[in-house]
Structure 1
């Protein structure tokens, strides 16, 4: 019994140490990333799948990751600790003023990389907050317009196969469940599009369409390496090899690795 108890205690100790390393980093840490995520609402299921996936990726690749659920702690000094910021299903409104200013500097001056998912393009006036014009410009000058509330499957077409974020992906891959936001205009004139959704493959079909409908892109006008990936609503995405390959590629590319 005593042997079993000691074994359990050691197991808990080493498990805790691994979590501590993932947060604090160590001498062999490749880089440190900050993950800003939503922990409530209808994106919670995606978060509950993505956060463990990220923690496992960090453990497997000697990365350090810290996780926060608000912008309260973000300022210039705080962001200086990180080579990458992952905005995981967190909207571009409601940021504290100091956090927003620090983020603008981080991106414009190339102090680190950025990956945004899904909710990061919920641009407009929401919940009493005004439009963040800088963030709209960062995302290609777009404004959120509509979405497929009943969800649809669709094919994503990889347009820029040579980009490191797209490495190892097939020319097309299927997304089984997504809301497919539409915007007031395509961001294409202002960004480099890496992938688009083929609206002709919506299942079931929907009248909510854009025509030219990019879903993965990067703004090369900014010094920071950055990529926006629209897909990020359903936990099913974390079972999609093409999606997780793209996610992993984006992390290492945006961090400059």
Structure 2
């Protein structure tokens, strides 16, 4: 039994679907073990406050061959899991948010997975796995160096590399030919089927959100090849086109 289960069960007493919510949370933290449950006030945009269960910690993101821990916070609505959570990047004192397509200047995360949320096809584990893919393509934080304000924004990092716990820079510039070639190869790898290694990826698995196989290979699978063994039985597929 997960050591957090008593706390999670107690925190969900006032939720509308406590048993479903508990199962969803436990499945997520069993795979993303750095996430820790808390039960605290959440302030909505209209100033209203409500105590909500939330998960706080880091998710591992593979960026240019290294795994980095990205700090996030997931607030579960009292209708969870039938309504999507509210998710934020939560930078440490050595980080600042890099806003982009999926993260606003306040760190709030917006994903198609959250907008299209429909339990049980969409759940916390699938959202976290989709988040790792998105962050690998577009990291959500910058480093805060001890030099100047200008210099601190020139080096993109993810804090605490997963393998040694120390901050690392992820490259000071992508202007060189070598860096551009490396980036092109990385993008080519992301778009190549993990099974046949030849065709372009073409299906997105539900509910994890991974898009890692071509149509021909993907339709013959019962489990996502990128998820831990047994963690995600494919519940459906979406044909994904890259123009």
Same fold (TM over 0.5): no
Q: Which of the pair is proportionally richer in helix? A: 1
Normalised by the length of structure 2, the TM-score is 0.29
Higher relative contact order (CA 8 A, sep 6+): 1
Normalised by the length of structure 1, the TM-score is 0.27
